[in-house]
């Protein structure tokens, strides 16, 4: 069988250049892919700092042509900048009485209409051409965290607030903030998810503006089709709709689709998650989410899968068994798992380049440098995406590293391994181990029964016998435990329960940054083709990932404390960032003159390990960490067995402040 090998980025760039010369019709697509290349990314450095604000810069926004950059701050001002002359064009007194969290240019307004939202619960619409405020809206009862616009919809904008309301505004119509006179609520999240839910971020699909993505203070990301929604009035302050939903069916069941990382679904943990930013890619087919307290996730919005994909994804198939099951631990009984046969695609012989990567990864694994090993396996898999051996090795490495979500990532790799090689003994065992560790004991039992039947010569190994015993104990414990629903489960509407049940799993996961301190931390595509993904971090750096390998491509120091905002220029390789500092920093490719980039963080894997410790520490430990003291990873997490313990050789050592 001929080996399937992906080309390296540099080879792909040369192919694109030749393609543009041969086929003129593809010039636009090629131009998109060449806007940010690997070479330009390697040269990315600080171009200048824009000074003018007197507080944290909480939001950045380019106009459509990229000739103006808007910034807004805790100082309650908006500044418009000329990004190429590095000078102010205008400093706008907004009239807000709280920190500004969001600023947007209205489409097709010749950049004269700006919308701002702030911590004073207000939304203001400014016409800078006549130096006037056109609208001051007091409809929200909580902090306004984000405003969204759509390029093809010039008169509408939408807002997300911590009062749980998603609102729509039409500048062509008169506006009133009186409840009895205004029907502008698209979704009231409190009607479905309870009174404690807060909307944190919102974005509109640029290609399909009827689709609105909403992030809240939970692990679910919501997407609504507003064409199916009937605008509502705001509820009175004492209205309670617990477990009722909207009584008028203003948000019908079919209008919403939910997304969530599989391991966060039904997670029994006191740790809280929150989507701090959501955005669609340029083609409108993918949704990028920065999950506070966790990692960055990419979702395919065209995936119409259901909740079963968390246990049995595309790579595996099941048949429904006895529908009369009374087991409280599982939704139904399932027949033994049957693998989808992909063995014809399996590659067992590697090219020299992939073989070298595999050997390096194996060595890193043996030396317990698990983060480095995963990086190498990622690169090998990007070049050779149909190898059971590579997926199996990466699964074992995820289980050793044991970061948040690594068990689930290992589970996914085990499924892929078995779909490529159904005789992979270790993948069978690891699949059961991962399911058990994810509190899916019934599914783990099914896998172990299959293992016993398929590999009887290994079934009595001590590790297998111990796992089977643990699984059986977990199942028996679950059967005799109370089946009373949790308080949070009883406070959500029937539609919400179904939306969550049918939520769709992620396509890609990106690790390395830390997102725990602020709830406005962004993540964006860098390059119109989405080749790279960027996000700020609580360590004062911003991270750039290669989406094809999911590896960290670069880490740059962007703020003294925290980087929150990253907004790429719409047409060139230019990036604006901001955070706790009162300045905006502009980044672009620097000359290849051999000079040292002082903003570069050299060891990206070490930075990622440090951020994982920071993200899984209590507030006192974070304070010490930010002062310069580092501590053992084992002090901040516990594991089920010795196999999963991180050794001290994989942890940064203490250093003086």
Q: Is the pLDDT of residue 598 over 60?
A: yes
Average pLDDT in the 399-419 region?
96
Residue with tokens 């990229």: 66
Q: Is the pLDDT of residue 365 over 90?
A: yes
In a 13 Å sphere around the CA of 244, the CA atoms on its Cβ side amount to 12
Q: Are 496 and 245 in contact (CB under 8 A)?
A: yes
Q: What confidence tens digit (pLDDT) does each residue in 92-145 have?
A: 999 999 999 999 999 999 999 999 999 999 999 999 999 999 999 999 999 999
Phi, psi of 255 (to 5 degrees): -90, -10
- Verify that 150 and 206 share a domain, yes or no: yes
Residue where a domain terminates, one of 453, 476, 499: 476
Q: How far is the C-alpha of 36 from the C-alpha of 44, rounded, in Å?
A: 10
Q: Is the pLDDT of residue 645 over 60?
A: no
Phi, psi of 501 (to 5 degrees): -60, -35
Average pLDDT in the 532-541 region?
98
In a domain, 4, yes or no: no
Q: What confidence tens digit (pLDDT) does each residue in 192-237 have?
A: 999 899 999 999 999 999 999 999 999 999 999 999 999 998 865 4
- Verify that 143 and 214 share a domain, yes or no: yes
Phi, psi of 54 (to 5 degrees): -120, 20
Average pLDDT in the 47-67 region?
97
Q: What is the pLDDT of residue 267?
A: 65
650 or 494: whose pLDDT is higher? 494
| pLDDT band with cut points at 50, 70 and 90 for residue 18 | low
- Verify that 348 and 296 share a domain, yes or no: no
Average pLDDT in the 232-248 region?
65
Q: What is the pLDDT of residue 339?
A: 54
In a domain, 151, yes or no: yes
Residue where a domain terminates, one of 564, 589, 614: 589
Average pLDDT in the 281-287 region?
96
Q: How far is the C-alpha of 393 from the C-alpha of 24, rounded, in Å?
A: 44
- Verify that 93 and 160 share a domain, yes or no: yes
Q: Which residues contact 135 (CB under 8 A, 6 or more apart)?
A: 123, 124, 125, 169, 171, 175
Residue 161 tokens read as 């607030």
Q: Is the pLDDT of residue 479 over 70?
A: no
Q: How far is the C-alpha of 127 from the C-alpha of 113, rounded, in Å?
A: 5
| pLDDT band with cut points at 50, 70 and 90 for residue 616 | confident
Handedness of CA 113, 118, 124, 128 (dihedral sign): negative
Q: How far is the C-alpha of 477 from the C-alpha of 329, rounded, in Å?
A: 10
In a domain, 486, yes or no: no
| pLDDT band with cut points at 50, 70 and 90 for residue 332 | very low
CATH number, residue 575: 2.130.10.10
Residue where a domain terminates, one of 589, 609, 630: 589
| pLDDT band with cut points at 50, 70 and 90 for residue 2 | very low
- Verify that 472 and 516 share a domain, yes or no: no
Which candidate, 12, 146, 46, 11, places its Cα nearest to that of 588?
46
Q: What is the average pLDDT score of the chain?
A: 85
Average pLDDT in the 329-349 region?
61
Q: What is the pLDDT of residue 643?
A: 40
Range with the poorest average pLDDT among 170-184, 252-266, 291-305, 456-470: 170-184
Range with the poorest average pLDDT among 77-86, 135-144, 179-188, 412-421: 179-188
Which candidate, 149, 120, 236, places its Cα nearest to that of 188?
236
Q: Is the pLDDT of residue 326 over 50?
A: no
Which candidate, 126, 298, 245, places its Cα nearest to that of 499?
245
Q: Are 63 and 108 in contact (CB under 8 A)?
A: no
- Verify that 470 and 515 share a domain, yes or no: no
Q: What is the pLDDT of residue 90?
A: 97
In a domain, 198, yes or no: yes
Q: What is the pLDDT of residue 508?
A: 96
602 or 341: whose pLDDT is higher? 602
- Verify that 390 and 447 share a domain, yes or no: yes
In a domain, 517, yes or no: yes
CATH number, residue 427: 1.25.40.10
In a domain, 493, yes or no: no
Average pLDDT in the 333-345 region?
60
In a domain, 397, yes or no: yes
Which candidate, 551, 547, 550, 582, places its Cα nearest to that of 564?
582
- Verify that 409 and 516 share a domain, yes or no: no
Q: What is the pLDDT of residue 196?
A: 93
- Verify that 185 and 290 share a domain, yes or no: yes
Q: What is the pLDDT of residue 6?
A: 54
- Verify that 527 and 463 share a domain, yes or no: no
Q: What is the crossing angle of helices 462-480 and 441-454, to 10°?
A: 150
Q: What is the pLDDT of residue 337?
A: 43
Range with the poorest average pLDDT among 256-260, 464-468, 489-493: 489-493
Q: Is the pLDDT of residue 483 over 70?
A: no
Q: How far is the C-alpha of 471 from the C-alpha of 425, rounded, in Å?
A: 19
In a domain, 626, yes or no: no
615 or 333: whose pLDDT is higher? 615
Average pLDDT in the 439-443 region?
92
pTM of the model: 0.87
Domain residue limits at 103: 43-236+248-303+507-589
Q: What is the pLDDT of residue 648?
A: 34
Q: How far is the C-alpha of 552 from the C-alpha of 587, rounded, in Å?
A: 18
Average pLDDT in the 155-171 region?
97
- Verify that 511 and 472 share a domain, yes or no: no
618 or 30: whose pLDDT is higher? 618
Report how many domains make up the chain.
2
- Verify that 278 and 184 share a domain, yes or no: yes
């Amino acid at each position: 069988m001929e080996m399937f090998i992906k080309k390296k980025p540099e080879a792909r760039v040369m192919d694109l250049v030749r393609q543009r010369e041969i086929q003129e019709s593809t010039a636009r697509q090629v131009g998109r892919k060449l806007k940010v290349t690997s070479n330009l990314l390697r040269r990315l450095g600080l171009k200048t700092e824009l000074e003018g604000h007197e507080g944290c810069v909480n939001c950045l926004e380019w106009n459509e042509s990229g000739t103006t950059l808007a910034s807004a701050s805790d100082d309650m001002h908006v500044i418009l900048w000329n990004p190429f002359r590095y000078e102010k064009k205008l400093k706008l007194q907004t009239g807000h009485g709280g920190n500004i969290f969001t600023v947007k240019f209205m489409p097709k307004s010749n950049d004269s209409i700006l919308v701002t939202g702030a911590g004073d619960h207000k939304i203001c619409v400014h016409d800078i051409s006549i130096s006037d405020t056109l609208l001051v809206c007091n409809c929200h009862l909580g902090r306004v965290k984000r405003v969204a616009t759509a390029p093809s919809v010039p008169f509408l904008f939408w807002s997300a607030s911590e009062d749980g309301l998603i609102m729509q505004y039409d500048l062509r119509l008169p506006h009133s903030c009186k409840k009895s006179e205004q029907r502008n609520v698209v979704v009231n999240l409190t009607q479905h998810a309870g009174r404690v839910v807060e909307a944190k971020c919102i974005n509109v699909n640029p290609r399909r503006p009827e689709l609105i993505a909403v992030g809240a203070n939970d692990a679910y990301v919501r997407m609504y089709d507003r064409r199916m929604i009937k605008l509502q009035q705001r509820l009175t302050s004492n209205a309670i709709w617990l477990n009722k939903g909207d009584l008028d069916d203003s948000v019908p069941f079919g209008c919403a689709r939910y997304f969530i990382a599989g391991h966060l679904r039904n997670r029994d943990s006191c740790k809280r998650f929150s989507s701090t930013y959501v955005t669609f890619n340029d083609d409108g087919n993918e949704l990028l989410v920065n999950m506070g307290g966790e990692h960055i996730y990419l979702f395919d919005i065209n995936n119409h899968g259901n909740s079963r994909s968390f246990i049995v994804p595309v790579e595996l198939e099941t048949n429904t068994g006895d529908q009369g099951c009374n087991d409280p631990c599982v939704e139904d009984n399932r027949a033994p798992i049957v693998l989808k046969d992909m063995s014809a695609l399996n590659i067992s012989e590697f090219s020299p380049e992939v073989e070298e990567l595999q050997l390096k990864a194996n060595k890193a694994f043996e030396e317990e440098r698990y983060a480095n090993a995963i990086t190498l396996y990622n690169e090998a898999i990007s070049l050779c995406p149909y190898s059971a051996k590579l997926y199996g090795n990466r699964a074992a490495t995820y289980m050793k590293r044991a970061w948040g979500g690594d068990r689930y990532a290992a589970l996914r790799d085990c499924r892929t391994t078995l779909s490529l090689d159904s005789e992979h003994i270790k993948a069978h065992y690891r699949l059961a181990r991962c399911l058990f560790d994810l509190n899916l004991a019934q599914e783990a039992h099914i896998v172990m029964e299959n293992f016993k039947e398929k590999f009887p010569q290994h079934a009595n190994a001590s590790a297998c016998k111990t796992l089977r015993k643990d699984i059986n104990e977990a199942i028996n414990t679950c059967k005799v435990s109370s089946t009373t629903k949790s308080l949070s489960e009883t406070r959500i509407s029937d539609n919400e329960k179904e939306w969550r049940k049918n939520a769709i799993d992620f396509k890609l996961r990106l690790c390395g940054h830390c997102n725990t301190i602020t709830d406005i931390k962004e993540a964006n595509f860098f390059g119109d083709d989405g080749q790279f993904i960027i996000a700020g971090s609580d360590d004062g750096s911003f991270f750039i990932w290669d989406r094809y390998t999911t590896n960290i491509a670069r880490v740059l120091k962007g703020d003294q404390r925290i980087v929150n905002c990253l907004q790429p220029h719409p047409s060139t390789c230019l990036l604006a960032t901001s955070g706790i500092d009162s300045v905006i920093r502009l980044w672009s490719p620097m000359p290849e003159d051999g000079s040292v980039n002082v903003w570069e963080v050299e060891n990206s894997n070490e930075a990622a390990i440090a951020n994982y410790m920071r993200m899984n520490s209590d507030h006192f430990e974070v304070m010490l960490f930010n002062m310069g003291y580092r501590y053992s990873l084992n002090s901040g997490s516990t594991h089920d067995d010795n196999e999963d313990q991180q050794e001290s050789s994989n942890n940064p050592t203490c250093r003086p402040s």
